[in-house]
Structures are given as structure tokens and as C-alpha cells.
């Protein structure tokens, strides 16, 4: 099952490889530009490059939409019936949770419905190793809801992911979510 850890690993590998290639290309260019003779470049190279960039730019989003499981779920979340709904309020730089620990069964699709009563905050869920599972913005006066499919057991921490002044740094609810019943454990 593809989860955010796997997506981030894939992104790390792809971007690192890209960086190595582009740095080597510029190094090669820098070495060769001081030697050789001037040459006319055919416009065909340019048009090929333009087509390549267009295909690359568009295909990235088509690929991620079809491979990252939360993308279609997020854009069409009205079509899903959640297994559980947690209503959370944020006020005066504090998360007000429905219970001390929000317990989720393995493979549940959960809706987090977060309301801000004053400022703009963030709502992020993090694993024990501090890596992020997902986040959203929490705007006052608007519905802020996110669906998530939990498939790894473990304890998860909630943290505000948007700066709301120095007080916002302390908006952490440690181990506020517990997922039970999965064979696979979340990263520790």
C-alpha cells in the first residue's frame, strides 16, 4: 500500500537523481564552453525541448493523481462515507480534541473536521519519528476537513503546521491518535 513515507522516498530518489544530472550537465557545459568552435544550433532542438517540458509538466500531475492514493480521495471527498468523524476545535493556540486519545481501527477512513474560532492555524498528523503523514490549513469561518485512510498501527502526534505567532510553536498534542489492529507498524 502506497503511503506518505513511500511517496517521500520516491520523491527523494527522483529529485536527487535529477539534481545530479543537472549539476553534471552544467559542469560539462562550463568545461566545454571555453573550447571548440561556434556552431549553429537547429531550431528543431528547441521545439523538441519545448514539447518535452510540456509533457513533463502535465504528466507529473496525471501520474501523481493516479498513484498517490489520497489525491483522488481529497478532491472527491464528498463521495466517501467515513468510518469515523472527529470534530476538533482550535482556539487561543490550543487544540480542543473530542477525547484525550482518538482511537482508530486499522483501515478506517477517518474524517477530521477542524474549526478555528480565531486565527489561521494548521492541522498536521506526525509519526513517532517526526515524519509528516498529512496536513491541512485551518481557516476561521470556513470548513476545514480532510479524509485519511489509516493502515499502519501506532501513535500519532498532532501539531499545528501554520505559523500563528510564537505561541503557535507549542501547539503540539503528543500521541493524540492511536491506530490499532494493523499488522504493520508505523515508522518509529
Partner 1 sequence: MFKPINLTPMQKLTLRFVVVGLIYFGFVVVEGMLMRIYEITPVAFIKQTQFFAIMTAHPLVGIFGSTYSLVCGAFLFLVPFLMKKPLYSFKLANRTFILITAGTFIFWAAGFISHYAPMYTLYWPLPADLSQFNPVGGAIFILGIALVMLGTVFFIINVFGTITYTPPGWDKQPAGALLASAIGYSGAENLFRKKENRKEHLVSLPVAAIARGTVDMTFNTLVILFTGVLILVYMVAAILGFDLKETAIDALLYKNWFWWGLDLIADGLVLIFVAGTWYLLATLITGKPLFMQNIARAALLLELVVSWTVWSHHLLSDQAQPGILKVISGEFVTAFELITQGLAFFITLVTLWSARPLKMTNELKFLLGGLLGFALAVPAGIMQADVGLNRILHNTQWVVGPHVHVAVLIGLTMTLYAAVYLLFPILTNGAKLYSQKLANIHFWCHLVGGIGMGAFMGMAGLQGMLRRSLYVEGEFKIYMILAGICGGLILIGFLAFFLNIVMSVGLQGVIGIFRPSKLDPKVLLPAQ
**Shortest distance in whole angstroms from residue 83 CB to partner 1:** 19
The answer to whether residues 188 and 128 touch, using CB atoms and an 8 Å cutoff, is yes
Which of the residues 21 through 60 are near partner 1 (CB under 8 A)? 22-23, 26, 29-30, 32-41, 43, 45-46, 49-50, 53-54, 56-58, 60
Nearer Cβ to partner 1, position 41 or 81?
41
For CA atoms 65, 154, 78, 162, give the dihedral sign.
negative
Q: Does 188 bind partner 1 (CB under 8 A)?
A: no
Task: Give the integer Cα–Cα distance in Å for 104 and 95.
Answer: 19
**Shortest distance in whole angstroms from residue 152 CB to partner 1:** 15
Nearer Cβ to partner 1, position 1 or 183?
1
Among 119, 158, 179, 186, binds partner 1 (CB under 8 A): 119
- Which helix (DSSP H) or strand (DSSP E) does residue 106 occupy? none
Q: Does 139 bind partner 1 (CB under 8 A)?
A: yes
- Within 8 A by CB and 6+ apart from 75, the residues are none
Which of the residues 57 through 96 are near partner 1 (CB under 8 A)? 57-58, 60-61, 64-65, 68, 70-71, 74-75
**Shortest distance in whole angstroms from residue 187 CB to partner 1:** 10
Cell of 35: 573550447
Task: Give the integer Cα–Cα distance in Å for 66 and 34.
Answer: 45
**Shortest distance in whole angstroms from residue 109 CB to partner 1:** 15
Task: Give the integer Cα–Cα distance in Å for 88 and 114.
Answer: 5
User: CA dist 12 to 6, 21, 40, 174, Å?
Assistant: 10, 14, 37, 27
Kindly write out the interface string for residues 149-168 of this chain, putting x where it contacts partner 1 by CB under 8 A and - elsewhere.
----------x-xxxxxxxx
Nearer Cβ to partner 1, position 83 or 140?
140
170 DSSP 8-state letter: G
Q: Does 134 bind partner 1 (CB under 8 A)?
A: yes
Amino acid at each position: 500500500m502506497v503511503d506518505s513515507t513511500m511517496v517521500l522516498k520516491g520523491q527523494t530518489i527522483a529529485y536527487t537523481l535529477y539534481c545530479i544530472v543537472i549539476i553534471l550537465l552544467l559542469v560539462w557545459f562550463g568545461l566545454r564552453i571555453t573550447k571548440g568552435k561556434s556552431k549553429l544550433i537547429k531550431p528543431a532542438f528547441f521545439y523538441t525541448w519545448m514539447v518535452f517540458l510540456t509533457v513533463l509538466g502535465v504528466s507529473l500531475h496525471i501520474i501523481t493523481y493516479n498513484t498517490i492514493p489520497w489525491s483522488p480521495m481529497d478532491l472527491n471527498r464528498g463521495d466517501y462515507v467515513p468510518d469515523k468523524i472527529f470534530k476538533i476545535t482550535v482556539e487561543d493556540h490550543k487544540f480542543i480534541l473530542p477525547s484525550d486519545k482518538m482511537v482508530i481501527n486499522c483501515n478506517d477512513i477517518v474524517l477530521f473536521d477542524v474549526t478555528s474560532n480565531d486565527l489561521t492555524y494548521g492541522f498536521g498528523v506526525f509519526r513517532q519519528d517526526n515524519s509528516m503523514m498529512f496536513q491541512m490549513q485551518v481557516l476561521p469561518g470556513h470548513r476545514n476537513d480532510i479524509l485519511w485512510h489509516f493502515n499502519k498501527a501506532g501513535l500519532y502526534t498532532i501539531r499545528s503546521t501554520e505559523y500563528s505567532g510564537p505561541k503557535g510553536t507549542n501547539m503540539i498534542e503528543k500521541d493524540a491518535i492511536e491506530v490499532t489492529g494493523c499488522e504493520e507498524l508505523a515508522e518509529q
